[in-house]
Amino acid sequence: MEKEKITVLYFGPITPKGEPSRGGYEAANRKNIDALRERGIEVVEFSNPQINRRIGPIGKLAYIKLFFLPLHLWKHRNRKKVILHTTPLYSHLLYPTLFTVRIAYMLKIPVLVDIRAGALITCWENKTFIFRRHIKELLNKATAITVESKTYIKQIKEIIGINKQVIYFPNVANCSNLQKIAKPDGLLNIFYFGRITKTKGISIMLNAIHRLGSRYKLYIAGTFGPDYSAKDLEKENVEYLGFLTPEQLKCQMSRMHFFIFPTSHVGEGQSNSLIEAMSNGLIPVVSDQGFNAEVVGENGKVLPKGSSDADYAKAIEELSSGDINAKAVACQKQIIKFHNLDIEIQKLIQIYKALV
C-alpha cells in the first residue's frame, strides 16, 4: 500500500505559475512551492488576491476573500498528514491570517507560521496593544515557527515573549543549474529588478548613474508603484526592460555586473531580488536595510542608511577596479553556501514530517 503523501495547505502571496512576479514575497513562495512539489509534497495553493492599486483603497476590498479561504480547511479535518503553512503580512492582513490559524487550531490541523520579510518587530513596536496581542496569539497557536533571518530568533523570544523553538529558514535561490560566470567586457551594466517605487531607492539609482557617466548603464525591470511610471525612467544611460518572467530575468542577468539596491522599505527582509542577483554573479551595492547585510556577507558593498547617490556611485566605481569576474564568482558562492534551495527545502520538509 502506497504511503499517504504530506499535503501542505500553503497560504500567502504567491506568483501564479509561469507568470512574472510582482514582488519578491510572491516570487519566493512560488519558488518554495515548486520545489516542494518536485520532491513529492502535495501543495494546495491559497494565494492572496491581486489588488487593483489604480482604484486606490477601494481595491483592497478584494482582501475580503481571505476570510472565506479557511472554509476549505474543513474537508481536511480528519486527514493525518495535512499541514497549514502560512506566510503572513503584518498590517491589516494579520487578521485574516489569524482567523485562518484559529480555524486550523480548532480542526487540529498543524500550523507552520513562516515569518518572511522584515516588518514584524517594527509592527510590534509601533502598533496598538490589541495588535500586539493578536501577533502573540498567532505565534502561540503555531505548531512551529520559521523565520527568514537569524535576528528574528532572539527578537521573537525576548521582545514578543514567545517561549517555543524558532527555526531559521532563509530565502533561497535555485543553485542547481547556475550559469558559469563570464561577464562581458566593455560597458559596465548595473541592474535593479523588483517593485519600482520610491522606497526602493529609484531616485538614488537614477542620480547615481548620472554621476557615473558613459562607461556605465542602468537597467531596470519590474512593476511600477503609484509614485513612478515608465516616463520617469527616460534618462540618459537608463533602460527600462519591462515586466520580466524568471527566464527573461536570468537571461538579462548574464550580462549584468552590479545589482544596485538603495532600499529604505520598512518591510525589507532577505530580498528575493538580491539573492537571485548574487546567485547569478551580480555584485551588490545595497543599503543596510532589513536583512541585506546578512545576505551580502563580505561581498560587494553595504552602505549605511541614508547614503546619497554620490555614495552609491563611488562604491560602484571602487568595485569596478580589479577582477570583476572573481568578485562575481564570490557572490555566487555566498548564495550557494547560505541560500541554497536544494539544502534548505529539505530542512523544511523535515519540519513538516516532525509536525505530522
Question: Which one-letter amino acid corresponds to residue 219?
Answer: Y
- Residue 248: closest CA among 289, 191, 319: 191
Taking only Cα atoms into account, the Rg of the chain, rounded to an integer number of angstroms, comes to 21
Q: And the C-alpha cell for 157?
A: 523570544
* Cell numbers linked to 258: 552590479
DSSP 190: E
Q: How far apart are CA 159 and CA 245, in angstroms?
A: 39
Q: List, in order of start, the domains of the chain with CATH numbers.
A: 7-172+341-355 (3.40.50.2000), 188-338 (3.40.50.2000)
- HSE-up of residue 71 (Cα within 13 Å, Cβ side): 5
- The pLDDT tens digits for 264-323 are 999 999 999 999 999 999 999 999 999 999 999 999 999 999 999 999 999 999 999 989
Picking from 288, 92, 301, 269, the residue whose alpha carbon sits closest to that of residue 194 is 269
In whole angstroms, what is the distance from residue 272 CA to residue 291 CA? 11
Tell me the residue type at 72: H
| pLDDT at residue 50, as a whole number | 74
- pLDDT-derived band of residue 227, with 50, 70 and 90 as boundaries? very high
Give the pLDDT band of residue 182 (cuts 50, 70, 90).
Answer: confident
pLDDT digits (tens, 9 = 90+) for 96-129: 999 999 999 999 999 999 999 899 999 999 999 9
Query: Considering the entire predicted model, what is its pTM?
Result: 0.92
pLDDT at 1: 41
Instruction: Give the CB-side neighbour count of residue 276, counting CA atoms within 13 A.
Output: 24
Neighbours of 144 (CB within 10 A): 20
Closest to 245 (Cα-Cα) out of 70, 18, 74? 18
Residue 339: helix, strand or coil by DSSP? coil
What is the rounded CA–CA span in Å between residue 344 and residue 8?
A: 17
Per-residue model confidence as pLDDT tens digits over 46-72: 998 876 666 656 656 667 888 888 889
More confident residue, 335 or 181: 335
Mean pLDDT of 224-249: 94
